[in-house]
Amino acid sequence: MRPIALAALLALPLAAAELHPPTLAAFDGYIRRAEQRLDTRQDFLWSDESPERARRVRQGEIVVEPFVAKGDIAVPDGLVHDWTGAVFMPGVPLDKAMALMQDYDHKRAYHREVVDSRTLKRDGNDFLVYMRLVKKKIITVVLNTEHDVRYVPLSRTQWRSSSRTTRIAEVEKAGKPGERELPPGTGQGFLWRLNTYWRFQERDGGTWVECEAISLTRDVPTGLGWLIEPIIRSLPRESLENTLRETRAALVK
């Protein structure tokens, strides 16, 4: 396709998608099973389930792998994406890592996808957080999101946390005259839900950070697979890898 024709196509709104109750029910069922699995896992760290994986992380690699074969599974009118990643931050104590993670009242300049962030409510280690997210791959999608985040200290060297989106709304014409927020569950459907499950452990002269990110998006519409599929299927992995890389860069200086 010629560049001019492609640019004209990308300027048009893509086929709208709407979040339906069966899609959400399938995601909620997947989350229940995932949380049960995480609660009963023998090893605290996912890295420790594989000596080779732990070696790669310890040597500085950011390891991201799908929990399911290709990283996503089909549900009615949608896709559930499930990726897990790990990074080791040498020389970083656990308390420094936790302070950064809980600092939501900045734009989080170290994270390219977060352009605005603030705490709406805090009760101890429980947070309600607002973030404006920018997802950019071929096209740009801006989302206003709210997250229910809970941190749990397990010992002097171990913490875990969970984050669940309570609201996601797509923003049209973001930052321009006429900006408006669409009703949640409408729009282009590139992110309907996002749950993240984190584990932090101080050892080996630094802190291990791991995250399992489970998200819900639209499925791939007929006729637009060439355009939509790279966005839907590659963004969850890339987003998790970037988050881990940028978090390490913010702490290891």
155-207: pLDDT as tens digits:
999 999 999 999 999 999 998 999 999 999 999 999 999 999 999 999 999 99
Closest CA to 34 of 209, 198, 197: 197
Q: What value does the CA radius of gyration of the chain take, rounded to a whole number of Å?
A: 19
* Domains of the chain from N-terminus onward: 18-251 (3.30.530.20)
- Give the span between the Cα atoms of 156 and 136, in whole angstroms: 38
CB 234 within 8 A of CB 242: no
What was the pLDDT predicted at 230?
74
- The CA-based diameter of the chain, rounded to the nearest angstrom, is 59
Q: Provide the 8-state DSSP code for 17.
A: -
What was the pLDDT predicted at 69?
80
Per-residue pLDDT of the chain (253 residues; tens, 9 = 90+): 444 333 333 444 556 789 999 999 999 999 999 999 999 999 999 999 999 999 999 999 999 999 988 899 999 999 999 999 999 999 999 999 999 999 998 756 678 899 999 999 999 999 999 999 998 877 889 999 999 999 999 999 999 999 999 999 999 999 899 999 999 999 999 999 999 999 999 999 999 999 999 999 999 876 665 667 777 888 999 999 999 999 999 999 7
End-to-end C-alpha distance for the chain, whole angstroms: 45
What was the pLDDT predicted at 57?
98
Residue 116 backbone phi and psi in degrees, to 5: -155, 145
- Give the span between the Cα atoms of 247 and 118, in whole angstroms: 17
What was the pLDDT predicted at 117?
94
- The token pair at 6 is 């492609």
What was the pLDDT predicted at 229?
76
The 10 Å Cβ neighbour count of residue 61 is 13
- Give the span between the Cα atoms of 29 and 22, in whole angstroms: 10
* Helix H or strand E segment including 227: helix 225-251
Quote helix, strand, coil % in the chain, to nearest 5.
Answer: 30, 40, 30
What was the pLDDT predicted at 226?
61
- Which residues does 42 contact at the CB level (< 8 Å), separation at least 6? none
pTM of the model: 0.92
What was the pLDDT predicted at 228?
72
- Give the span between the Cα atoms of 84 and 134, in whole angstroms: 21
Chain-centroid distance of CA 233 in Å reads 13
Give per-residue pLDDT as tens, 145-157: 999 999 999 999 9
3-state class (DSSP) for residue 228:
helix
Is residue 239 classed exposed, middle or buried when 0-12, 13-18 and 19+ CB atoms within 10 A define those classes? buried
Is residue 236 classed exposed, middle or buried when 0-12, 13-18 and 19+ CB atoms within 10 A define those classes? buried
CB 152 within 8 A of CB 125: yes
